[in-house]
Amino acid sequence: MNGSKTLIVTGGSRGIGAATARLAAAAGFDVGITYVANAAAAADVVRDIESLGRKAVAVACDTAKPDQISAAFKAFDQHFGGLDGFFNNAGVLGLAGRFVDIPAAQVVEMLAVNTAGAFFAAQEAVRRMSTRSGGRGGSIVNMSSIAAKLGGAGEATDYAFSKGGIDTLTVGLAKELATEGVRVNAVRPGLIYTDLHDASGIAGRVDKYKHNVPMQRGGSVDEVAEAVVWLLSDKSSYVTGVLMDVAGGRGL
């Protein structure tokens, strides 16, 4: 990668977000990450990025709150002065349950973080990246899920519902921004070994369901990160509007 490019990763202190932040730094990006509460984990990611000779900063931000999203992006402006890539990653998973038993508070939080929060964060990124707004173009990768395709029946319809909105947002933005220098794609991970599953209340969730995956295994956060960083890079320069399944064949 020629020159220094900048990337923001929401939810970058753990799991797929942290793996992507580290891999992107190795590919030449300076990286800003957001986190909700685990400042120590965020600091570890920052140190790893800086050890690669890249700039890094972590900013506390609850993406369920639009004012905090705006403040976080302004903080990144002070550190980087421009934006080339955005991984719209922050998300939550609720307690597993049948559709009629999912509590209203869980659905409201799910949509506030996974859907509305991602929408508002993308707005902030586009304002900085679009050539129409004086930006230098770049790439946005949204975090969806294979659940958006499968529906989450009997367990996580709220999560699937929230990620279906991400798929729609991805296609709409890809079309709208195609002449403004910004490519927009999404990754749809399947069963990935990450602590996000802990919130479901299902012990060993990946191992419990991996027999439903054609490849008969769960995926790693690094495997998803590789797809994200490729979509962020110039190597995917003619790719936009794609919903990329990273799911071992699940959903085929």
251 found inside a domain: no
176 found inside a domain: yes
Q: What is the pLDDT of residues 121-154, one digit of tens each?
A: 999 999 999 999 999 999 999 999 999 999 999 9
pLDDT of 3: 58
19 found inside a domain: yes
| Cβ-based burial of 206 (10 A; exposed 0-12, middle 13-18, buried ≥19) | middle
Q: Is the pLDDT of residue 2 over 70?
A: no
Q: Which domain holds residue 238?
A: 5-246
Active-site residue among 35, 159, 193, 238? Answer: 159
Mean pLDDT of the chain: 96
Cα separation, 97 vs 104, in Å, equals 12
218 found inside a domain: yes
pLDDT of 203: 87
- Looking at the structure of the chain, the number of domains it has is 1
252 found inside a domain: no
Q: What is the pLDDT of residues 5-28, one digit of tens each?
A: 999 999 999 999 999 999 999 999
Q: Is the pLDDT of residue 1 over 60?
A: no
Strand partners, 183: 139
- CATH classification of the domain holding 149: 3.40.50.720
Residue of 81 and 29 predicted with greater confidence:
29
35 found inside a domain: yes
Give catalytic status of residue 209 as yes or no.
no
Q: What is the pLDDT of residues 156-215, one digit of tens each?
A: 999 999 999 999 999 999 999 999 999 999 999 999 999 888 889 998 999 999 999 999
